Amino acid sequence: MRDTGGTAVGDQPQIKTLLAARERGYGTVLSLKFPYNERPLPAPGSSGMKTALARLDEVLPVVMGKTDILVIGNEPFLECRPADRGDRLNAFYEQLARHVIDHRDRRSATGTRLYMGALNHLDRPGGRTPATRRWLDFVRKTPAIAGVDIHPHLSAPGGARRYLEYVLPALRDDQTFLATEFSLVLLWKEHLGDPVSAKFAARYEEHRGQRVWQVIKAALDGPFTQQKWDRFLSMSPWFDRHRTYLRDQVEQFRGTGKLAVAAYGVSQDADMASGFGVDSTPWLLNSLFCPYTVLPGKEGLPGRNRAWTDGFRSAQQR
């Protein structure tokens, strides 16, 4: 939302792409991200709150009724200072939500469903607080809100169940949930300092003695062939034993009968590749397409992470 105030919202590339996709028949979801990590969250009635509402007023006329789902917030409990992750956070986002609801009602734009999002770290004891409970209470008690978004980035596949066990009982019968991000990225991160597998090092002598993060860095510095990238992942037990994760996770979400949308990361980007080291968060291992670590194929398509492609295709067919 801090991208407002300069270029007209409707002329921004991201918004133009989103609206064009919907015109071509795609379902669309837009999350409204309010980053306040470096300053206090505005209190209702403050000048900062007026600024936040003015930014909303730039965006809402462009997207309301023109996108299928609008998520009020992105990762609110991570995108503010730790000191603000209580009632101050709830008050801020509840006022934003009421403002969005009022705008939608005035425009009669009921074709855009509204969700509150997104909750993180619900698989950890410290991730469940009075503020997250108040968040879900507000969602349940507000008729115009269709549900809640979750972002289960996990260190173990079973962690998503803890999200569902916390969130689903709090929803009304007519409400659903989104999972606009999900992955095992925290599990991958735990293994960046591991020695590369002996099988991979035996086949590719140049990586003998290296750690996992160093092999990934080598792929970023000089992209691997598709075959070499496939072998690196398949010969890494901590990765290969979870190669059905994407399919399994979507099936778990769908099995609740309460899933509205699950979205998965399509492509590596520049931020994932920049300054990669042992302490990086390896988002690039989640991606379906791998233009930063894999050479393009003969047909011109980018390289890919073939651990995920079958599961992704089967999810579309379902």
Model confidence, pTM: 0.95
Q: Which amino acid is at 53?
A: L
Query: What pLDDT, in 10s, does the model give residues 274-305?
Result: 999 999 999 999 999 999 999 999 888 999 99
Counting the structural domains of the chain, the total is 2
Interval 107-164: pLDDT, tens: 998 899 999 999 999 999 899 999 999 999 999 999 999 999 999 999 999 999 999 9
Q: Are 200 and 191 in contact (CB under 8 A)?
A: no
Q: How far apart are the C-alpha atoms of 53 and 128, rounded to whole Å?
A: 28
3-state secondary structure at position 224: strand
Kindly state whether residues 73 and 24 are assigned to the same domain. Answer: yes
Q: Quick check: helix, strand or coil at residue 29?
A: strand
Question: CB of 302 within 8 A of CB of 296?
Answer: yes
Residues spanned by the domain of 231: 186-242+266-318
Does one domain contain both 98 and 57?
Answer: yes
* Structural domain includes residue 203: yes
Percent of the chain with pLDDT over 70: 100
Predicted pLDDT of residue 84: 97
Q: Are residues 104 and 122 in the same domain?
A: yes
Q: Is 79 exposed, middle or buried (0-12, 13-18, 19+ CB in 10 A)?
A: middle
- Neighbour-count burial of 85, counting CB atoms closer than 10 A to its CB (0-12 exposed, 13-18 middle, 19+ buried): middle
Same domain (yes/no): 109, 206: no
pLDDT in the model for residue 7: 77
Helices 306-317 and 226-234 sit at what angle, rounded to 10 degrees?
90
Residue 261 lies in a domain: no
Q: Looking at residue 318, what DSSP letter applies?
A: -
pLDDT at 318: 67
In a domain, 44, yes or no: yes
pLDDT in tens, 247-277: 999 999 999 999 999 999 999 999 999 999 9
Same domain, 44 and 154: yes
Query: What does the alpha-carbon distance between residue 225 and residue 232 come to, in Å, rounded to a whole number?
Result: 11
**Same domain (yes/no): 278, 174:** no
On whether both 108 and 32 belong to a single domain, the answer is: yes
